[in-house]
Structure 1
Amino acid sequence: MSITQEQADWFKDAFTSLVDNVDQAIVGKQEIIRLVISSLLTGGHVLLEDYPGTGKTVLAKSLANTLEGTSSRIQFTPDLLPSDVTGVTIYNQATHVFEFHKGPIFAQIVLADEINRASPKTQSALLEVMEEGLVTVDGETHPVGSPFMVIATQNPVEQSGTYKLPEAQLDRFLVKTSLGYPDRDTSVDLLMDAANRSRAAKVAPIINAESVNAMIELASQVHVERSIMEYITDILVSTRTDKDVALGVSMRGGLALARMVKVWALSQGRTYATPDDVNALAVPVLAHRLIVDPESEFAGITAEQIIDRILLAITPPAYRAA
C-alpha cells in the first residue's frame, strides 16, 4: 500500500510540530531534535553522549512532556539492581498469590540517566526490553506497550567508577549523538533566561500515543527503491572490510538505517527515500556500531571519520521520485 501525498503532508506537519515543541526547551538544536524524534517514530532508542550541562536530560524530559503518556527517569548508580529497573514479584499475604510490581521501565519515554554508571548486570536488564519491548521476570513476560523509547545519557568524562557499554548493548541503540555547546547568540539568549530553572516544564503535550503509533505505521510504508537498499548494503560491507575497522556493522545496523531513512524522508513530506537521506543518517546510526582497530584508534582515527570516508568512496545511485 503506497502513501498518498496528503498523508505525507500530514506526517510532515505533525513532525514539525513535535520538533518545534521540543525546541522551546532545547534552543538551536533542531537537527538533533529531528534525529531523536525520528528514532521515536522508528521504534528505536537514543544514546546521548556529551559533556555535563549540555542539555541531555532536558532534551529527554522535553520529549517526554511532548507526549500525552507516561514517562520515567532512572538514575543509574553502581548499586542499582536489575529489579530496580524491570520490577519485582512480591508475595501478597492477603491474597496468597505472587504479584508483579512494575519497575520504571514500564513507561513510554524512559530516561536512563548516566547509564554507564551502573554495573553490566543492571545494564543488561535493558537488552530484552529495548529489542523486543518485553520484560521477563520469574518466567513471566510483560509487554511495555507502544510507543516505547529509551533515551540513555552518558558523559565522556569522569570515567572513574563507570562501566563501558558492551557492543551488544550499543547495537540496541538506533542513534548515538551529542548536543554540543550552543552557539554564541543562543548562549546569550539562555543566559538572559537564567531565571527559568526548568525549561522542560514549559513544554506541553501536543500528541497522544495513538497518533504516535499511527505515524510509526505510516512511516513503515514509505517507498524505498531497491537501489537505495543496495547502497546501504554496500556501506555495511565496506565497514566490515575497512582496514581501520576491527568489527563492522551488523545487519541490525543496516535494518536500523533502512527504517530511519523512511521516517527521515516522510518528515520532509516525501513518499520516497533518496541517497541523500542515507548520507544524512549514516554517521549517527552506524558509527557507534563500529569497533575501530586499536592501533588506528591510537592514531586518532574515529568511527565517524571511517563512515564519512566510506560514503565518499561509494557512488550513490541515481534516484527518481516514486
Structure 2
Amino acid sequence: MLEGGTFLANEINRATEYSQNTLLDPLEEASIGIPHLGRIKADESFFFICAMNPEELSGTHRLSEALKDRIKVWIKLTYPEKATELDIIRINLPEQFMVEESELELIYSIIDETRKNKVDIEVPASIRAGIAIAKLLGRRRYLEEKGIVKQKESVYVHLADITKHVLLGSIKPKPGVKVQPVIDRIINRTIGG
C-alpha cells in the first residue's frame, strides 16, 4: 500500500456487513488509520480489486450501496471456454490420478449440462464440481491399480455414481424442484443410463 501494489479482496460478498464497512474509509480517503501508528496514506499507484460470488449463493451478503459506490469499475465474468475449463481440471488433478481425455470431456459435458438447464436449476455446478468429479474418478482408478479396490467396474458406472454425489451438493434446484431426478436426467443425457 505504501509503495503501490494491488490488494485483492476475494469473495468480498462473503464478508459480513461490519467487515465490508471497514473498507469504506480506506477506499474513499486512500488511507487507513492504524492504532499506535496513525494514518497511513496509500501510494497513488496502489490499486484495490475485489471479486464476488453470484449473489444467489448461500453464505453471501449484500454489498452496501456505500461500498458499491466506492468500487469504480464492475466487470461481469462468464464461464471460461471449454478448453480453459478442461485445463483447469487437469492442473488440479494430482499426478498419480490418471483421467483419460475422453473422461474429462464427459465431466465437462456434465458440468455444462447443469448450466444449460435453466428450467430446473437455479445455481449450476461450478468448475470446482468438475475438479471434484475428476479427482474422485482418478482416485478410484488409482486404488484399483494398487489393488486396494478389488471390484472393477465400468468407468461409466463410477462416473455416474460420483456425479450423483458431487452434484447433490453442487447444484441448487429451483424452488419446488427435486434435485435427484434432475441429476438423474443429467447423467442419462451425458453418460447414458
Bigger RCO (CA 8 Å, 6+ sep): 1
Identify the TM-score tier after normalising by the shorter chain.
Answer: 0.3 to 0.5
TM-score (norm 1): 0.28
Q: Which has the higher strand share?
A: 1
If you compute each CA radius of gyration, which structure gives the higher value, 1 or 2? Answer: 2
TM-score (norm 2): 0.44
